[in-house]
Chains A and B, each alone.
Chain A
Amino acid sequence: MRLKLGVIVFCILSVGAAAWAFVPWFDMQRWAAGEQRIFQNAMAGALRGIQAGDPQAVWTLCGATAAYGFFHALGPGHGKVLIGGAALASGVTLKRLSVLTVLSSLAQAATAIVLVGGLVFLLQMQSGDLAAMTERWLAPASYAAIAVIGAVLVFRGARILHRMGQARHAADGCCGHTHGPSVTEVATLHSARDAVALIASIAIRPCTGALFVLVIAARFDAFAVGCLAVITMGFGTAAFNLTVATSGVAARWLTAFGARDQTAMQTVSATLHVTGGILIVAMSMGMLLPYLS
């Protein structure tokens, strides 16, 4: 059983790695960076419009920040790793995961607003220092929190397997009515605690772009407009992350397609918990490592 699980996990990871190698990352990154540059300039134009008192500029700014959020999310980032991995691992429904995705992006926007409002306004911190603090402390904190969630998913997968083993053992002894964990028990990420952990781990680190929009807006006495723009940026980010969530849920659905009986369901669920968890841990550790040296 253990060996079989190892083989399945290995197969899923190698197919994933092969698919990864075929994606034209260079071209995509370059294209996304070019688009980001366009919308970054549009944001600047709208912010100058706000300074000049142009009432239309608010809507231009919100449109530009939404597009910026979308294209910025195309780059390598922490939110996608967790959301994609959780979609694959946990058996969470698409509807619930979508809500979590939108909430985590909005919470990220809220972090930016609280940081700029609190540290720059009240404590008179320099905006450059705030950006440096975000990169130095909040980014690795977020990666570490995400790695922990990945480890919890691996642990839960292992626990399902352990319980299945126990149940089989009990059945062999001919006296038990235990059938191992139920289908709902093997699908995790249902509790409010899990949801909060997922949202918080993403929201710890605000987007640097959002911080700067707020700081510039504040300089032009338009902090409220900045807040609105950062919230639409969050929706832009969420829009991209929703495509990741959908792919993750679809991948899980495809994998579970052949599983008819309960044991097969449990095995698939356990395997996907372990696979998704390993993916999350590996990728977040990859992002965390440069901070540890």
Chain B
Amino acid sequence: MCLGGTATAHPHVFVDARTGFIFDGEGHLNALRISWTYDEFTTLILFESLNLDKDGDGVFNDADRAAVIDGETNWDPEYKGDVYLEVAGQDYSLGRPEAAAATLANNQVEVSFDLPLSQPVRIGDTPAVLRLYDPIFFYAYTILPATNPIALPQGCEAQIVSFEPDAAESALQEKLAALGREETPSQQNVGRLFSDEVQLTCG
């Protein structure tokens, strides 16, 4: 993404995110579908920083679409798209964005893309957890139900679990209480407690 930011706890960019799970013919989870809808102010910033609508006719044309896709999905190798997938309790690595598209509706830019899994994986009854968050909270993500949901294989279910401050606080306290006896939790795990997530189970 093109708007930088170092450690700060002010969200400047608000993103409504929608997610989908793509399975292959053998019933393995193959890829994630992610879409980001930016707030109206950030949309204006994107128009400025990516120099969109150069002709000023107000039409979001193919050149603008290409600029948004390039600016939003051609990211640095160290950036992971603020997308984190956990399968059977383990972090699962993801590839780079594919099949990206960009639209402008209701004065908000939306960009969507697929993130292939490094290897297709079978999902069992232990939930696979998809979390979207920016470790430094410059971007604030809210996960919403998909407008055109991708059908899941029979027996699979995806559920959005929104961030609840109380739940996060008590979970954090449990973690901190466990600190004495067990190993130090990684910073990332603490950050995860504050994000919306989608839980996927297949029974």
Contact = CB atoms under 8 A, between A and B. Distances in A.
B14 A139 contact: no
Contact of B12 (A47, A128, A132, A208): A208
B41 A212 contact: yes
Contacts of A208: 5, 12
Interface of B: 2-12, 14, 39-41, 43-45, 47-49, 107, 140, 165, 168-169
Given A47-B44, A215-B48, A33 B11 contact: yes
A27 B165 CA distance: 7
Contacts of B2: 128
Nearest to A288: B7
A41 interface: yes
Interface in A14-36: 24, 26-27, 29-30, 33, 36
Contacts of A6: none
Contact of A131 (B3, B10, B43): B3
Interface of A: 24, 26-27, 29-30, 33, 36-37, 40-41, 43-45, 47-48, 72, 75-77, 126-128, 131-132, 135-136, 139, 208-209, 212, 215-216, 219, 287, 290-291
Contacts of B45: 127, 212, 215-216
Nearest to A29: B9
A135 B41 contact: no
A30 B48 contact: no
B4 A131 contact: yes
A71 B114 CA distance: 35
B14 A40 contact: yes
Nearest to B40: A44
Given A135-B5, A291-B7, A41 B44 contact: no
Given A40-B14, A41-B39, A290 B7 contact: yes
A44 B43 contact: yes
Contacts of B5: 131-132, 135, 208
Contact of B48 (A24, A40, A127): A127
B48 A219 contact: yes
Interface centre among B10, B47, B48, B165 (most CB of A within 10 A): B10
A76 B44 contact: no
A75 B6 contact: no
A215 B3 CA distance: 14
Top 6 nearest A-B pairs by Cβ distance? A44-B40, A290-B7, A132-B4, A26-B165, A44-B41, A40-B41
B4 A209 contact: no
